[in-house]
Amino acid sequence: MFSIGTLAKRTGTKVQTIRYYEQIGLMPEPGRTDGGQRRYGDVELDRLSFIRHSRQLGFSLGAIRELLDLSDSPERSCAQVDAVAQKQLREVEARIARLEALRVELRRMISECNAERVADCRILEVLRDHEGCLSDHQQPTP
Amino acid sequence: MFSIGTLAKRTGTKVQTIRYYEQIGLMPEPGRTDGGQRRYGDVELDRLSFIRHSRQLGFSLGAIRELLDLSDSPERSCAQVDAVAQKQLREVEARIARLEALRVELRRMISECNAERVADCRILEVLRDHEGCLSDHQQPTP
DNA sequence: TATACGATCTACAGCAACTGTAGGTTCAAG
DNA sequence: CTTGAACCTACAGTTGCTGTAGATCGTATA
Ligand SMILES: [Zn+2]
Ligand SMILES: [Zn+2]
Ligand SMILES: [Zn+2]
Ligand SMILES: [Zn+2]
């Protein structure tokens, strides 16, 4: 049995983040000391490690909740788990595609600016007028 | 002179977003009708277009504020403008690098899973244990 | 055993950048 | 003059935390 601070250290999480996960029901309510302080065991350590690692791989808390629920049914097919991961992969790929388009535009506008004065700055020109762009980029970056 | 709805339509912005920009001082307080409704002109249209296009290129509202301020001094050197754009490019590149690392891990764990049962799912195994990963990925994706 | 002091407690505010809602008012077309 | 779409303010909610204040707890040391 160990304290929230120890759990935090062992998982590279902030104490408040752990309490936040508890608040939204992602971490279970742990036992308490007589004085009211949280006490954790290895089950909670594993669960939090899972959550943190999934976060590092970009999964949303919603997706992580789903994955945790699924892993409670070891006999079921893992097709749903795989689907969650596939979806995450597609999202990552979509974000990469968007960012690569941005990179092209940014590089171009930076390289085209040889001006000294703000009045002639190519960067500001492009920002004022999308005609100076190659790609579409409708939605502001998420 | 036109209404906030017209301005919204012409710039592809939501009405609330325009009011939000006004609230945080990114858009100026416009004139009003006798009844209290906002009325805009071409100056505001240009400014909002600039803001929206910059957002589409991933600039933060803080950066956009800086760019707008800089563009008010047409005689000054555009070095600062260029610096803001450079910084944005570096951020985009950093995000791409992080996402590409995630993509590798996700692809790998998906391809490695040939299990039928949740109990043997490779995806869950990797999520439980970072040892199954190739790259580091310390901070949860921003 | 007493004391000190770091760790923990609750509750709430704040971040970015919006989006959505409720309840009321105004504008403009017919 | 009526009607209804558009507008108004004010505030709550989104995601995933992070920071703060003021009080309490736990434990090592004297
Ligand atoms: Zn320039
Ligand atoms: Zn553009
Ligand atoms: Zn699987
Ligand atoms: Zn890993």
pLDDT, tens only, B26-82 = 999 999 999 999 999 999 999 999 999 999 999 999 999 999 999 999 999 999 999
CB-CB under 8 Å, A85 with B109: yes
Measure in Å the smallest separation between the Cα of B37 and chain A Cα atoms.
27
Mean pLDDT of all residues in A115-121: 93
- Nearest CA to A2 out of A39, A33, A35, A34 is that of A39
The Cα–Cα gap between A122 and B136 comes to 38
CB-nearest partner of A107 from B81, B89, B119: B89
| pLDDT tens for each residue of B97-122 | 999 999 999 999 999 998 889 999 99
Q: Measured between CB atoms, does A28 come within 8 Å of chain B?
A: no
Cβ–Cβ gap A138/B102 under 8 Å: no
Contacts of B118 in chain A (CB under 8 A): 70-71, 73-78, 81
What is the phi/psi pair of residue B34, to 5°?
-60, -35
Backbone conformation region of residue A91, classed left if phi is above 0, alpha if psi is from -120 to 50, else beta:
alpha
pLDDT at res. B101 = 96
pLDDT above 70 as % of chain A: 100
Q: Which of A50, A57, A127 sits opposite B137 (nearest CB)?
A: A57
Within an 8 Å CB–CB cutoff, is residue B117 touching chain A? yes
Q: Let me know: does B112 contact B122? Beta carbons within 8 Å.
A: yes
Q: State the pLDDT at residue B138.
A: 80
Place of tokens 């004065």: A117
Put simply, whether A43 touches B (Cβ < 8 Å) is no
A101, A135 Cβ separation under 8 angstroms: yes
pLDDT at A50 over 90: yes
In this complex, the nucleotide whose C1' atom is nearest to the CA atom of residue A39 is C8
CA of B44 to C1' of C14 (A): 30
Query: In this predicted structure, what is the pLDDT of residue B65?
Result: 97
pTM of the model: 0.93
Nearest nucleotide (CA of A142 to C1'):
C17
What is the spatial distance between Cα A108 and Cα A122, in angstroms, rounded to a whole number?
10
**pLDDT for residue A110:** 97
Q: What's the pLDDT at A140?
A: 77
pLDDT band at A139 (very low <50, low <70, confident <90, very high): confident
Q: What is the mean pLDDT of residues B15-27?
A: 97
d(CA A64, CA A55): 8
Residue-level pLDDT at A138: 80
Phi-psi label, residue A129: left if phi above 0, alpha if psi -120 to 50, beta otherwise: beta
Report the chain B residue with the minimal C-alpha distance to residue A47.
B128
**Inter-residue contact A122 to A128 (CB < 8 Å):** no
The C-alpha atoms of residue B9 and residue B34 are separated, in whole angstroms, by 23
Average pLDDT over residues B12-27: 97
The set of residues with CB closer than 7 Å to nucleic strand C is: A 3-6, 8, 15-16, 19, 32, 36-38, 140; B 3, 14, 16-17, 20, 33-37, 55, 60-62
Choosing among 3.40.50.300, 1.10.1660.10, 3.40.50.2000, 3.40.190.10, the CATH entry for A1-76 is 1.10.1660.10
pLDDT tops 80 at residue A142: no
For chain A, the structural domain boundaries read 1-76, 85-142
CB atoms A141 and B73 under 8 Å: no
The band of A69, judged by pLDDT with boundaries at 50, 70 and 90, is very high
